[in-house]
């Protein structure tokens, strides 16, 4: 007996739903049929997939390991089904965007809403991933556009750097530092501070600045995402220094923003897949990304009361079509 697609389908349904009953409902078949197919699948494989515990089936380590590979196959099939559905709905293009988590909740949602409103036949997919996971997909060209802080050296990708201004300090409303328009390193002496994780590229630069000025902040918490830092500041846990895009987004949480007397430039890097199937649409979306970043930078500078004309850079105002390299 050989493994059949039906065996794999039933195994995936049981692992995904957590029970034979739910798998049978999802597949519109009977529980005895699901149980019989599972036993045949185990005979074909030569090892046990489930251990019976009372009236439940508990996946073995072998089943969990095998399902990891099966799930990847089904994800591919689901993507084919989504693409076919989009074609049926007359969707003319599909753009896959991967980004760091901070941009998925701040910059991109309103940008995507506006872009889709203007382009009703275009479909977008947004993936918020950590650097290591994203790098694997980027190197394999699974995405069309990448938006991160870091430079990438993958072949087949064009890159552009866009100045988003400078990092800023966020403080709880009514904080004792609220009376100052600009904060110097000494203002942070002994302050409760929320740090980013140790592997954050901007944390290392920030730590060096405070070290050079002999300033000791009080480490209260560490967080791995800007959204978490903003929420913690809004709860009064401490103050922090974050990117201007996230800072602008969290003002509604009862957080105030202050500029720094020292400079920590913040750059967003866009990476565009040179082999994308819809280059014209991708260029339009990338242009929208640049425009949105520049707009946020200008709003932040207006709030901080600084002359944005002195902060502009050629990369920030350049058209994406000419700034990618």
**DSSP structural state of residue 99:** E
- Identify the pLDDT of residue 85: 66
Q: Is the pLDDT of residue 270 over 50?
A: yes
The continuous run of DSSP H or E covering 147 comes out as strand 145-148
- Identify the pLDDT of residue 170: 96
pTM over 0.75: no
The continuous run of DSSP H or E covering 204 comes out as helix 201-212
197-221: pLDDT as tens digits: 887 888 888 999 999 999 999 998 9
Instruction: Provide, rounded to the nearest whole percent, the portion of the chain with pLDDT above 70.
Output: 88
Please give the Cα distance from 112 to 285 (Å, whole number). Answer: 9
**CATH value of 5-86 in 3.40.50.300, 1.10.10.10, 3.40.50.10210, 1.10.645.10:** 1.10.10.10
Q: What is the mean pLDDT of residues 1-28?
A: 86
Answer yes or no: same fold for 5-86 and 90-164+266-323.
no
Domain spanning 90-164+266-323: CATH 1.10.20.10? no
Segment among 81-85, 140-144, 301-305 with least mean pLDDT: 81-85
85-134: pLDDT as tens digits: 655 555 567 899 999 899 999 999 999 999 999 988 888 999 998 777 77
- Identify the pLDDT of residue 200: 84
158-188: pLDDT as tens digits: 989 999 999 999 999 999 999 999 999 999 9
CB 313 within 8 A of CB 324: no
Which two structure tokens, joined as six digits, stand for 47?
């090892």
- Identify the pLDDT of residue 53: 80
Q: What residue segments make up the domains of the chain, in order of their start?
A: 5-86, 90-164+266-323, 168-263
What class has domain 168-263?
alpha beta
243-266: pLDDT as tens digits: 999 999 999 888 999 999 999 999
């Amino acid at each position: 007996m050989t493994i059949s697609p039906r065996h794999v389908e039933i195994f995936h349904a049981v692992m995904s739903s957590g029970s034979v009953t739910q798998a049978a409902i999802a597949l519109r078949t009977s529980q005895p049929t699901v149980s019989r197919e599972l036993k045949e699948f185990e005979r074909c494989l030569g090892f046990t997939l489930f251990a019976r515990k009372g009236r439940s089936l508990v996946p073995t380590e072998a089943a969990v390991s095998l399902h990891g590979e099966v799930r990847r196959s089904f994800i591919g099939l689901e993507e084919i089904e989504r693409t076919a559905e989009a074609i049926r709905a007359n969707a003319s293009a599909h753009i896959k965007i991967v980004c760091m988590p901070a941009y998925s909740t701040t910059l991109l949602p309103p940008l995507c809403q506006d872009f889709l409103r203007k382009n009703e036949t275009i479909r977008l997919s947004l993936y918020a991933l950590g650097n290591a996971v994203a790098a694997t997909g980027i190197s394999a060209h699974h995405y069309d556009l990448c938006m991160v802080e870091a430079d990438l050296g993958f072949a087949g990708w064009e890159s552009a750097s866009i100045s988003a201004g400078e990092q800023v300090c966020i403080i709880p409303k009514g904080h004792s530092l609220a009376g100052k328009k600009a904060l110097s390193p000494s203002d942070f002496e002994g302050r409760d501070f929320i740090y980013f994780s140790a592997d954050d590229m901007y944390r290392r630069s920030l730590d060096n600045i405070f070290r050079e000025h002999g300033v000791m902040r009080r480490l209260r918490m560490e967080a791995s995402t800007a959204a978490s830092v903003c929420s913690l500041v809004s709860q009064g846990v401490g103050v922090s220094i974050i990117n201007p895009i996230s800072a602008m987004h969290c003002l509604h949480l009862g957080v105030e923003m202050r500029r720094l007397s020292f400079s920590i430039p913040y750059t967003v890097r866009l990476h565009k897949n040179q082999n994308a199937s819809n280059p014209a649409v991708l260029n339009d979306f990338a242009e929208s990304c640049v425009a949105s970043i520049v707009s946020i930078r200008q709003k932040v500078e207006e709030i901080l009361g600084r002359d944005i004309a002195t902060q502009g850079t050629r990369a920030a105002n350049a058209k994406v079509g000419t700034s990618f390299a």
